[in-house]
Structure 1
Amino acid sequence: MQWTDYITPLMEGAWVTIQLTFYSTILGAVLAFAAGIGKLSHNWAIKSVSVGYIEVFRGTSLLVQLFWLYFALPIAGTAMGIDLRLPPVLAGVLALGLNIGAYGAEVVRGAIQAVHTDQHEAARALNFTPRQTLWRVVLPQAIPEMMPSFGNLAVQNLKDTALVSLISLGDLTFRAEQIRNFTQDSTTIYTMLLFTYFGMALVLTALMRWLEHAVTRWRTVGG
């Protein structure tokens, strides 16, 4: 086989990797805001759930989380008489999203707490409720501060998708390993794999920087 024969299967795997990255990053962003805001809540139940989620998923291995969702959860479901088997794609998205969401939650919390107390006092002077203060005053100022860290997490999430190959999901790494096993051409395959991930990371970084600039312009215009 020529190296050009490797391109089609690798691109098929790259498309799976792109989808995993997109969906898990969206899920992670939603969870990050929910848990980050929840950790600052005065409601003990909401705060406890948020802290528990953050600590568990930041304190355990992503690989173990992935294996638990794909292998252990169905066994636990069978013991309870419930079918909890997850398709590989769903297990991958959930594991990646839950993991990046826990790290993103700390970014959200830190950015919210970094908003100057004068802003909160001004909101109270205008008779804003806590919810109005959060959505109209705090978050518009905090979100631009979160974007650089979110960009780093998104790139890290892209690289972490390689782990889903261990549950036989046909992502970029899985396809590359299939080709390598068939051809024994490790040097070519892994070099192509290296540069493919590098190229995808560059594109994702550019997209996140564009989004960061867009959010910053929105804040400036809104202000």
Structure 2
Amino acid sequence: MDFLIEQLPRYLDGALITVQLTAGGSALAFVLAMVFGILGSMKHWLPRAVATVYVEVFRGIAALVLMFWMAYALPLVSGYKLDDTFAAIVALGINLGAYGAEVVRAAVNAVPKAQVEACVALNMSWFQRTRLVVLPQAWAQMLPTFGNLVIELMKATAVAYLIGVADLTAVAQQIRSATGETVLAFTGALILYYLIAQVLIFGMRLLERRANRKLGRIPPGGTGLLALLRPPSVGTKVGVAK
């Protein structure tokens, strides 16, 4: 315990970099997932083809290889070198965005067609019906899977040290090399990764319950602390006496 307390400032520095990678990668992945997911749900073949190319290409490339390409191959091709941290964020965001695009496409297509047809009958534009009717319902369906993808992205940041990023894994490696304490060094990293994951899980459950409450899918008052600590109930009906 004394060892971990003594090394805590170094661990926290590494954890901060890990959080930055997770936040940056998640933000980029979210934007790409929404753009290409919506394109993939359109009726016209061209936007669907663009979305399919992006999804199939970047789902088939390992995040680590893409990270190496951004850090080492891109400067040779373009003559411009990205910062190591930024290169890791771009690689993780592009890779996870491809998975997220399929989540968005499936959620948008799951919205009942009758509602879309009703919007057309009301003379709503594509943008209006997408923003006001389709996305609010699809959003609630996307969130559980998005939460899993964010956790996976956070864990994928552990390989960023291979391109020189001083993240939590890099700090654990440095501490192990300096002290020879392999078990304790990686135990500290393990604990911090777990804590970061729990914070992300809590945040995603909060978003899930907020989205479901707006759609009337959970009872009023079902967003307290204890409710957030347990998974959302399935099949709960509002206003039905038990």
Query: TM-score if structure 2 supplies the norm length?
Result: 0.85
Structure 2 counterparts to residues 52-131 of structure 1, below 5 A:
52-77=53-78, 83-131=79-127
Q: How big is the alpha-carbon RMSD for the aligned residues of Structure 1 and Structure 2?
A: 1.6
The offset of 1:161, in angstroms, is: 0.6
The offset of 1:39, in angstroms, is: 1.4
Q: Give the letter aligned to residue 90 of structure 2.
A: L
Deviation readout 1:68-87 (Å, 9 max, x if unpaired): 1111111111xxxxx32100
Give 5+ residue unaligned stretches, structure 1: 78-82
Does 1:135 find its partner at 2:131? yes
Distance 1:73 1:188 in 2: 37
Match of 1:37 in 2: 38
Q: State the percentage of identical aligned residues.
A: 41
Distance 1:197 1:176 in 2: 12
Q: Give the letter aligned to residue 103 of structure 2.
A: V
Query: TM-score if structure 1 supplies the norm length?
Result: 0.92
Change (3 A) 1:120 1:193: same
Does 1:193 find its partner at 2:182? no
Distance 1:2 1:205 in 2: 29
The SS at the match of 2:98 is: helix
Q: Aligned to 1:207, which of 187, 203, 209?
A: 203
The offset of 1:111, in angstroms, is: 0.3
Is the CA contact 2:175–2:185 (under 8 Å) kept in the aligned structure 1?
yes
Q: Aligned to 1:148, which of 135, 138, 144?
A: 144
Q: Aligned to 1:167, which of 163, 180, 192?
A: 163
The offset of 1:131, in angstroms, is: 2.2
Larger helix fraction of residues: 1
Match of 1:178 in 2: 174
Q: Give the letter aligned to residue 61 of structure 1.
A: A
